[in-house]
């Protein structure tokens, strides 16, 4: 059981950078989409 928890902890630690990067990409894309929609609404 302890081994499973340790492996799970390592897995989460390994995935964290990827999850953070993914969150940043989603945030940036959302911002771009909202900006495009605002410009399109003005035209």
Three-state secondary-structure class, residue 20: helix
Residue 26: what pLDDT? 97
Which residue is associated with the tokens 């989409």?
33
Residue 2: what pLDDT? 83
pLDDT digits (tens, 9 = 90+) for 1-43: 688 878 888 888 888 888 899 999 999 999 999 999 999 998 7
Measured CA to CA, the distance from residue 26 to residue 9 in angstroms comes to: 25
Residue 23: what pLDDT? 93
The three-point CA angle 5-9-13 to 5° equals 170
Residue 39: what pLDDT? 93
Q: Give this prediction's pTM.
A: 0.57
Sign for the CA dihedral angle at 20, 24, 27, 29 comes to negative
Residue 33: what pLDDT? 97
């Amino acid at each position: 059981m302890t081994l499973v928890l340790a492996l799970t902890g390592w897995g989460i630690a390994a995935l964290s950078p990827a999850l953070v990067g993914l969150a940043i990409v989603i945030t940036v894309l959302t911002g771009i989409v909202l900006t495009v929609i605002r410009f399109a609404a003005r035209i």
